[in-house]
Structure 1
């Protein structure tokens, strides 16, 4: 395969992945308020509300990436996020409000974060390979936020929610 054809395929992969994560973030902006309302623990509720604001910023950052690269996103639906959001909704429906549901919501939220961490890591690498330095930097900012959110959820699970869940099931 010629270098030019390879570069074109790489660019198409970048555009597809960026379009996919744009859809994912939009879906998440609709799911996070539901997760926050379903949370029993005040700190978990606050974490979901904070992540909602970050997610809105990440959508804006994707818009900046699109502009800096001079590309156009495709209109696609991220089926992976659709499934993850559905799983979170099932946690809300399957467990009554309280620490057990909070533990389940953290698990669902961390699956989302891990998906986003993988996606943004790949996108930042693709952007760098394509020579989109500004885009790569923006995508790395989002990657850092996703990792930070995952760490915060882990701390909440360890320090608060798991202990509350254990006490509730005893």
Structure 2
């Protein structure tokens, strides 16, 4: 689809976010299935549920604008998920894999934080206050997930991975 206006660019960004959330929801289930530490497994499953809700909220925004959500694919998210999948193949289940899963999930979170921040800024520039408010809610959820993953890494997983390798 041709992008000719700032609003077209905004809607294309949302379409990519819809695709990113769809892909991420699927990947989080696989990641949780490989996680060894219960707190990591629970954090990933919780984020999967949040991700599904975020996907639905992005779709609702796109629907309000009459924009087809499946027009664009998010290659960056596909690559980040491929990287996570590679780690799940290369590493045995245990603390080292858990640390790698957290790192992969946080790379994805940081990407989503940047993408939602951009989309919210576009919505603001366009005067789409309802969209902007919804996107800021999702942005806050992404930041909270990143913090939860950091807590799991710092409180347990990273030290277990270090101790296992020693």
TM-score (norm 1): 0.92
Please, which of 51, 55, 70 is the counterpart of residue 51 of structure 2?
A: 55
The answer on whether the counterparts of 1:39 and 1:102 sit within 8 Å (CA) in structure 2 is: yes
Larger radius of gyration: 1
1:27-71 Cα deviation digits (max 9, x unpaired): 111101100011010000000000000001101111221234444
The answer on whether the counterparts of 1:14 and 1:126 sit within 8 Å (CA) in structure 2 is: yes
In structure 2, the residue matched to 1:9 is 5
1:106-117 map, 5 Å: 106-117=102-113
Please, which of 56, 81, 87 is the counterpart of residue 85 of structure 1?
A: 81
Q: Which runs of 5+ in 2 are unaligned?
A: none
**Matches of 1:70 and 1:134, distance apart in 2:** 15
The answer on whether the counterparts of 1:68 and 1:134 sit within 8 Å (CA) in structure 2 is: no
How many positions carry a matched residue from both structures? 163
How far has the Cα of 1:76 moved from its partner? 1.9
**Matches of 1:16 and 1:69, distance apart in 2:** 12
Q: Which runs of 5+ in 1 are unaligned?
A: 1-7
**Matches of 2:133 and 2:149, distance apart in 1:** 25
**Matches of 1:144 and 1:41, distance apart in 2:** 25
In structure 2, the residue matched to 1:26 is 22
In structure 1, the residue matched to 2:162 is 166
**Matches of 2:130 and 2:119, distance apart in 1:** 12
How far has the Cα of 1:74 moved from its partner? 5.0
1:86-136 Cα deviation digits (max 9, x unpaired): 000011011100000100110000000000000000001101111111011
**Matches of 1:151 and 1:161, distance apart in 2:** 14
Structure 1 runs of 4+ off > 4 angstroms?
none
The answer on whether the counterparts of 1:69 and 1:132 sit within 8 Å (CA) in structure 2 is: no
In structure 1, the residue matched to 2:39 is 43
**Matches of 1:97 and 1:63, distance apart in 2:** 35
Please, which of 132, 139, 144 is the counterpart of residue 143 of structure 1?
A: 139
TM-score (norm 2): 0.94
